[in-house]
Chain A
């Protein structure tokens, strides 16, 4: 017990230095946890994707729609269970800064394909029945203070004009990875208006969501669908929902790389800070280590003394940093919910924090320990004089 007590006392011998080291480490852990959560948030769509859902889009680009007649043809493909479709609407609520994703969908089939959107049955029925009806995620409903039955007007950016909707339902996610900031309304409502004012772009869907019977046949079913539309005016590209989501991420790969690089740099900096603290601490106490050795204290105890000290500093820093990561992430999520609808600190991030703490403790102890072990007692005691 005395050795453990000594390790604790050594860790706080220079209170200011220990405080600054812990502060630095805590901030680094917050920064690391935060940046990792940003990366995780980027992948939220991928995580929420289902293995039994495929996405069929125009092979040239997502911005080109597909004829609505494709629905039935896709449904007849072997292995397909259910087909729905959606269309990116790109409407703005009052002001462009109030951004949230909004889609025109075929309600019944779409909600069947997305059981992770939990909606009370009567709200679902009300939404399906009302052509001008809409459903919205809990986050945006709370953010804008909407109530069921409220009239909501979105200003179209792709399809000009003011579009009136009636809020018929509110969905919540089955778990925390589900985006609760989306807005869905009837594709029929959009299409009716397009037929009146822009008939050339009516009767099209932005993408098809294809529910398949067995996830292991995803590749074959995708191939069958695309084969069916080969050499047509609008060739298709079908991929798993996961691959579809990943294709968005690849577009921003450079940003993600920079974020990950910054995370790594943060760790290297804090490693240098802790290593410097340990080096100074051990250098100042070399005569004490010499006394320990003279008393017969073996190498392992010296290793324990130095590593223990580093572990105490890094553990406290990690603990404070981890605790602070949650309010920091929440503040960021509240402020940036438009861009990061799913922003949660995951267990994996906390495990990474612990691993980093241990790695820093070990690596920062190596050189000081070697120095303390290498120095001969006679030489060290000469330094005392």
Chain B
């Protein structure tokens, strides 16, 4: 089997937060790579720094030290506006609490990130319809988030995450607010996105069952990357 190219390279990354006069280290000297098409689970106890690491990779936070190179671009050197543009093109976000806009329909929520592209209205509609078809919610396109179950809302959120065809999907506890059955559906959907569409997925989770769906698991504890083992091939 030929080795895939490294899509993300994290080198000697440090991150700390200030609480009053105290400087609390969150990540210490983190170095690792993520291959293109990887499905990575980041595990660890609360406060271990996994969400912080995810935020750094997604370009919504900056490290104190170190570099993060994504597809050849050092995102730590980008300005806020450059980062916003970069995120719009390269990153799809899946949140624990879905974070859909309650006053927009499922269709409009999925269409939202496409407004930042140069697509025509017709092209946007085609792309949204396709995304909703993939998550099996075509018949719910005109429903508002409040009219959908938790699982359905998360599927809409996933459609919103990949509708722009980003390279990387980042998911922070995507099943944390769902029952077991809905969680299974979401994880299966993410697996399909990884296998069929080749999306690189980085998922933060507490749930060992969810982590089992990933092909690789990294564990963080007190800001240090302890283990790196194959979960499933």
Chain A residues at the B interface, C-beta cutoff of 8 Å: 2-3, 5-6, 9-10, 13, 287-288, 291, 293-299, 376-378, 381, 384-385
- 19 further contact pairs, Cβ within 8 A, besides A287-B99, A378-B60, A381-B172: A5-B104, A6-B104, A9-B104, A13-B103, A288-B101, A291-B93, A291-B101, A293-B60, A294-B58, A294-B91, A295-B112, A296-B85, A296-B116, A298-B81, A299-B81, A376-B61, A377-B55, A378-B61, A384-B95
Q: What's the least CB distance linking A205 to chain B, in Å?
A: 73
Measured between beta carbons, the chain B residues less than 8 angstroms from A13 are: 102-103
Is the beta-carbon distance between A385 and B60 smaller than 8 angstroms? no
Answer yes or no: B38 CB below 8 A from chain A CBs.
no
> Shortest beta-carbon distance, B174 to chain A, in Å?
13
Contact, CB under 8 Å: A385 / B113: no
A9 to B103, Cβ gap below 8 A? yes
User: How many inter-chain contacts with C-beta < 8 Å in the A-B complex?
Assistant: 72
Known: A6-B104, A377-B61, A378-B61. A296 touches B99 (CB 8 A): no
Q: Interface of chain B, helix or strand or loop or mixed? A: helix
B88 at the interface (CB under 8 A from A): yes
Given A2-B108, A3-B115, A378-B55, A293 and B84 contact (CB-CB distance below 8 Å):
yes
A296 touches B113 (CB 8 A): yes
Nearest-CB residue, chain B, relative to A298: B84
Of A6, A295, A384, the residue contacting B87 (CB under 8 A) is A295
Interchain nearest-CB distance for A300 vs B (Å): 10
* Chain A, interface SS category: helix
Chain B residues with CB under 8 A of A299: 81
* A384 and B84 contact, CB distance less than 8 A: no
B93→A294 contact, CB < 8 A: yes
B31 CB-CB contact with A under 8 Å: no
Chain B positions within 8 Å of A, measured between CB atoms, are: 52, 55, 58, 60-61, 81, 84-89, 91, 93, 95-97, 99, 101-104, 108, 111-113, 115-116, 160, 172
Tell me the nearest residue of chain B to A3, going by C-beta.
B115
- Chain A neighbourhood of B103, CB < 8 A: 6, 9-10, 13
* A295–B101 CB distance below 8 A: no
Question: Which residues of chain B have C-beta atoms less than 8 A from A378's C-beta?
Answer: 52, 55, 60-61
Contacts of A3 in B (CB 8 A): 115
Among A3, A287, A299, A385, find the residue whose CB has the most chain B CB atoms closer than 10 A.
A385
CB-based contact B116/A377 at 8 Å: no
Q: How far is the CA of A5 from the CA of B103 in the complex (A)?
A: 10
A296 adjacent to B96 (CB under 8 Å): no
Closest to A296 in B: B88
A2 contacts B111, C-beta separation under 8 Å: yes
Instruction: Please state if A384 and B99 are interface contacts (CB–CB under 8 Å).
Output: yes
Cα–Cα, bound, A9→B58 (Å): 30
- Complex CA gap A291/B97 in Å reads 11
Q: Give Cα distance in the complex from A6 to B172, angstroms.
A: 26
Q: With A3-B115, A298-B84, A299-B81 in contact, is A381–B60 under 8 Å at CB?
A: yes
Contacts of B60 in A (CB 8 A): 293-294, 376-378, 381
Q: Which residues of A contact B97 (CB under 8 A)?
A: 384-385
Cα-based distance from A291 to B96 in the complex (angstroms): 12
Chain A nearest CB, measured from B192 CB (Å): 22
Q: Which residue of A lies closest to B54 (CB)?
A: A378
* List of B residues within 8 angstroms of A384 by Cβ: 95-97, 99
Chain A residues, CB < 8 A from B99: 287-288, 291, 381, 384
Distance between Cα atoms of A378 and B60 in the complex (Å)? 6
Of A6, A10, A291, the residue contacting B95 (CB under 8 A) is: A291
Tell me which residues across on chain B come within 8 A of A287, comparing CB atoms. Answer: 99
Known contacts A6-B104, A385-B97, A297 near B116 by CB under 8 Å: yes
Measured in the bound complex, the distance between the Cα atoms of B52 and A288 in whole Å is 19
Q: Select which of B52, B87, B111, B172 is within 8 A of A296 by beta carbon.
A: B87
> Which of A5, A13, A296 gathers most chain B CB within 10 Å?
A296
Complex Cα–Cα for A377 and B97 (A):
15
- Given known pairs A294-B87, A381-B95, the reply for A2 and B112 (CB within 8 Å) is yes
Give A366 to B25 CA distance when docked, in angstroms. Answer: 35
30 contacts between A and B (CB under 8 A): A2-B104, A3-B115, A5-B104, A5-B108, A6-B104, A10-B103, A13-B103, A288-B101, A291-B93, A291-B95, A293-B60, A293-B84, A294-B93, A295-B87, A295-B116, A296-B84, A296-B85, A296-B89, A296-B113, A297-B88, A298-B85, A376-B61, A377-B55, A378-B52, A378-B61, A381-B55, A381-B60, A384-B97, A384-B99, A385-B97
> Measured between C-beta atoms, what is the minimum distance from A4 to chain B in Å?
11
With both chains docked as a complex, state the minimum distance between the C-beta of A71 and any C-beta of chain B, in angstroms. Answer: 77
Complex CA–CA separation, A287 to B112 (angstroms):
16
- CB-CB < 8 A to B104: which residues of A? 2, 5-6, 9
Residues of B within 8 A of A296 (CB): 84-89, 113, 116
Evaluate contact between A295 and B111: CB separation under 8 angstroms: no
Q: Which residues of A contact B91 (CB under 8 A)?
A: 294
**Please, which residues of chain A bring their CB within 8 A of the CB of B87?**
294-296
A292 to B, closest residue via Cβ: B112
- Which of the listed residues B85, B96, B103 has the most CB atoms from chain A within 10 Å of its own CB? B103
* A252 to B160 Cα, complex, angstroms: 66
A65 to B193 Cα, complex, angstroms: 99
B206 smallest CB distance to A (angstroms): 12
